[in-house]
Chain A
Amino acid sequence: MDTKKTSLYQLHQDNKAKFVEFAGYQMPIQYSEGIVEEHRYTRNHSGIFDVSHMGQLFIYGQEDLVDDLERIFPLDLKNLKLNHSKYSFLMSDNAGIYDDLIITKIKDGFLIILNAACKENDYKILKELLNDKYKMILDEERSLIAIQGPKSVEILKSVIQGVENLNFMTGNWFTLDNHNIYVTRSGYTGEDGFEVSLTNEFADRFTRRLIDKGAKLIGLGARDTLRLEAGLCLYGHELSKDKTPVEANLKWAISKERILKGNFIGSDIITKQLNYGVNKIRVGIKPEGRIIAREKTKIYNESNSEIGEITSGTFGPSVNGPVAMGYVKNKFSKKDTKIFLEVRGKKHPATICGLPFYKKSYVKGVN
């Protein structure tokens, strides 16, 4: 299968991107200045991320659709206001995670943002679960551009007036040069920022305007260090079919109202795990010194028993040290628990820590 290119491919090339294949797409891993500089620029200024490989699934329908989606997602969708977004999961009957996603109530239906590697499968699962009752479009005609970092609001509002009034996890339609653009205040870096959905033909011109205003292109490499410092999960690493949202320490994303009523896919297991606990749970891990513990690194307790495994680990440029996340047996998950990480045959001390590693600066309410 040929790898796909996003509408910004030429722009990436013009900016000397190094490419990597990701979920069937040619994506920029970094540009000429490198991952550390790109990471810092996003934290201090404003970074642009091409996330057009992610799925933009539009599902159209009225009250029936809300009822049917509530049987799938652990969310109180009846009370989700127009243009408000929620983080959620598509689960199996065993509450294993097929994908994590953002669902937004739009006029006439919902917009769901899916991971690139999962989107085709998600589409099939949802189409089947919804009995093909609704119009569903996994839109390949639209690009998705994220702009993240403290200067992003100034930069984006100078191009699209009004975006500054959006609250965190809300969105709206805007018009620019006769193009319909859907903007949400959201992101995955631990910084204030926006995600902009727009037509493929307009994506390149629009992004060049953001660059003219001082934002810089940022690759997948820095996207990974930024989200890890922010303590955010990445599908295929922290999240997978053999882990549940409770194990992933994401129970905050499950509606309490819906837990009481149940009746969503995976609700039996979720309820059981909330009542009786889990065997393994996702935690933050801070290695001592500079040692970097990568994915699949084994975790041991003080009496040398294996208690878990790292799911993501790197060097955090803003923390100026190594950071990691992983799963450990529940009884070793308390903050400040001493653990050991086996890297290249040697055991290195580390500590279970709270998340995020780097403090978020999301704008909660601007009005």
Chain B
Amino acid sequence: MEKFSLGSENLDLRKRIAELEQELAEYRSGRGAQAHPTSNGADAAAQHTPDDDDAETAGAQDGDGAKPVRLDLDEFRRYGRQMIMTEVGLDGQLQLKRSKVLLIGAGGLGCPAAAYLAGAGIGTIGVVDHDLVEPSNLHRQILHAVDRIGTPKVTSIITALKNINPYPRYVAHNFPLSAENATDTLDRYDLVLDCTDSPQTRYMISDACVLLGKPLVSASALRSDGQLVVLNNPPGEGPCYRCVFPRPPPPESVLSCGEGGVLGPVVGTMGVLMATEALKVLLAKADRKRRRKPAHLAVADCGKAAAAGDGEASQTHDVKEAAAEERKFYMTIYSAFSDTPFKTIRMFGKRKTCQACSSGATITKESMKNGSLDYVAFCGGRGAGKYPALTKDEVVEVEEYQKLRENREGGVLIDVRDDVQYGMCSLENSINVPLATILTLPIATGDGGKHEGEETQPVPIPAWLPRDTSTPIYFICRLGNDSRLAVQRLKRSGLVKGNAIRDVKGGLWEWSRKVDKSFPIY
């Protein structure tokens, strides 16, 4: 059975290659595709040249799929390896060329996704990003390069993409996406890839895609974990980001790759998977009318039709079956260090109470555009709200602290980074108490110290705190944020009586810049 199906598949593929080769020969002989009924790609279209890309217009004038496209000989050679796949074919390749895809974010996800989409021959590729290339990007953002550090990511990525494939039209959107400009920016495209890095942009992009009826491929990665989900697909049917995660994560738990770290190939894997999902969404729209079923499958179908007694009835049944199958939605989660790294979660469809995509949706294009939807507030406020503001006498500048250390007045210096980072580099005579430990300290309950139904036991003083009441306590961390949290938290614990508690402002980053340039920045 297995042998038979492989054999016939092989035969079918050979036939397909022969067909494509014949088409190619006809192109070469100048007869073009008009002479060949199975070649639907060459109906009187101007040949696309690699140089006619336009930095501003993404071809918004074209109706979806209306623009006739064709492939030139170089493109046949370039895309041949994927075109001979049943899932692609000439019809699929033309559909890709007709498609306009927007990548939001030219970072760890955007780079690999864009590389494969450009390689696959998407007709128009837009990229939104407002950042500049930095050295810390290069371990994972594989399309940027040393000689483009300091240049805009959008120009850097397009430079790289043109080197991979000069055929697509590339559009640079060098600005931050906002609620105000989101719908206008996304509207020119057929499909959107969310390659961003914050909860607020994820909700915003999802809302915009729902409002505009665009499918959305969304993925993310942090440390060794990744998530991938295709949303609003087909538009109006599939769940949106709010359906999957109706409640945003608490802001203090949200880590960027800069804060939490990320393994290059983990985010790369997610980006590559995004490209695959994007191609699947686009190829599903390809015109397959001229496709013939492989002989052995056609025979099976005939059998079914005969059994049903009515060919047409059986076909309708098939269509229904296929539609029902399409309505399954999945989320893929990747845990790189697990023994079974991939899990696929079966999702329900839309959430009945979804603010964005249910019948009772309250989010509109107008509310997005006029800024009445505050995504930052929805996700828990500005980043600044995450860390407490300290008073002047709770803060010490790095230069000042250096002087204190020289005079042996540096007190206890507590580095609140985790043990991995502390192990990478640390200041002499500092001790390591990770923020996570400090956050578990009890909180003083006030004068009476009474807590409903609980006996008040004297809390043991942690060994790392000074026993006297005069030694000052200084907190330091990588960038000067967690250390502020530590100052606030230790004060609230009520465990320290009399000692000054201060934050070394700007953390080890500032220390390296202003006091000791040999101290590593990472």
Check if A and B associate: no
Q: Give residues in B with beta carbon < 8 Å to A.
A: none
Q: Give residues in A with beta carbon < 8 Å to B.
A: none
